[in-house]
Amino acid sequence: MTTLPRTDTSLFGRWWWTVDRWMLMAIFAISAIGALLTLAASPAVAEHYGFDTYHFVHRQFVFLPVSLLVMVLVSLMTPRGIRRLAVGCAGIALLGMIATLFVGEEIKGASRWLHIASFSLQPSEFIKPAFAVIAAWLFAESRENSSLPGNKLATFLFMIIVVLLLLQPDVGMTSVVAAIWGIEFFLAGLPLFLVVAVAFLFMGGIVGAYFTFGHVQIRVDRFLDPATGEGYQVTRALEAFRNGGLFGRGPGEGRVKEVLPDAHADFIFAVAGEEFGLIACLVMLGLFASIVLRGFSRALQEGDLFIMLASAGLIVQFGLQVIINLASTLNMIPPKGMTLPFVSYGGSSTLALAIGMGMMLALTRERSGGVGLKRMRSSKVSGAGLLEKLAPGGVR
């Protein structure tokens, strides 16, 4: 992995020796697995929809390299540049989300996409990383300057995003944005009584979604009552895992991709289970877990409150998306259409995830003047002292 001397002072040389190379390599490994699974899963789906056999392969093999290049370019930025990028992304994404309500392309009963030329763009995908950074910025500024209503501004922005998402509707993405806001607010020093209030608010939101949105009610009822059936796609996915066993049926030998319309997207993990088996699935899970755990480790070692909050929010978004996709495929939660990061087919999702992980890599780079563990050690701040500094008196 070490190919550049530490004396290399070029832009790429400085980046290479300060970026989290292990996380970077894990993301590239996941992306390589995703490219392989796209080759395995998408031809049958393309033929089912009447497209050319390699229609989705060709498109994903454009989306993925471009997205990874964007991730690397974003990771070269400074924290100030990341904040500016987040504001720009948020502004464009919010305008796009408003536009979907009027001219959006309706797919499966939801208006989340804008049709541009031969591509469909989902603006709401880009609001997640942008909101994670902006909310962290506002929370951190509020702690440093009590006269600045950063907490209120972050909450106001959160409410605007939630309203736009529910109008589409997209309950799953709403839950991800809510998790980002809640965790960042908690880490910023949310008082205990507000922690309880937010918890009840989230539970009330779940109950409200059940009674408000018909598709949510149907999915929850099917999940809770086995007598009504698990749903076609989930049933086929579970059969695929059983057929795959420990080592899989072999590349190209799977059958689930021939009957699942979302085999290349939301249910691509089932294709991995059938063709490559449990061992390969555990390897994928290990790579995802290493990214999440390493991300939290880097975030919690930060001495800068903004960087800590933004990094935690970005890694929560990534990890929660992985959990929702895998849990839906394995029938552990009611099914929710959400892509598997860097594995599932999808241009908007892949590019938005690349921007988010590029932000994560940029914020957690080692910088002169002190970041991370080295910074805390040089300033003689213990772990307990850091927590006391970030949240005086603990969670009040």
Sign of CA dihedral 243, 26, 360, 311: positive
Long-range contacts of 225-232 (CB under 8 A, 24+ apart): 230/331, 231/335
In a domain, 82, yes or no: yes
The predicted pLDDT at position 395 comes to 39
The predicted pLDDT at position 188 comes to 86
In a domain, 131, yes or no: yes
Q: What is the DSSP letter of 109?
A: T
The predicted pLDDT at position 391 comes to 45
In a domain, 2, yes or no: no
- Residues 107/174, Cβ–Cβ less than 8 Å: no
Calpha distance 104→99 (Å, rounded): 7
For the chain (length 396 residues), average pLDDT per consecutive 10? 63 84 95 93 87 90 95 95 96 93 74 77 92 96 86 93 90 90 88 75 76 69 60 83 91 86 88 93 96 91 90 95 92 83 91 96 78 38 39 40
Distances (CA, A) of 29 to 288, 302, 323: 10, 26, 19
In a domain, 395, yes or no: no
- This prediction's pTM: 0.86
What does the block give as tokens for 319?
């990890």
The residue range of the domain holding 372 is 11-390
In a domain, 4, yes or no: no
Calpha distance 347→67 (Å, rounded): 8
In a domain, 245, yes or no: yes
Calpha distance 226→228 (Å, rounded): 5
Domains of the chain: total? 1
The predicted pLDDT at position 108 comes to 64
In a domain, 27, yes or no: yes
The predicted pLDDT at position 334 comes to 80
SS3 260: coil
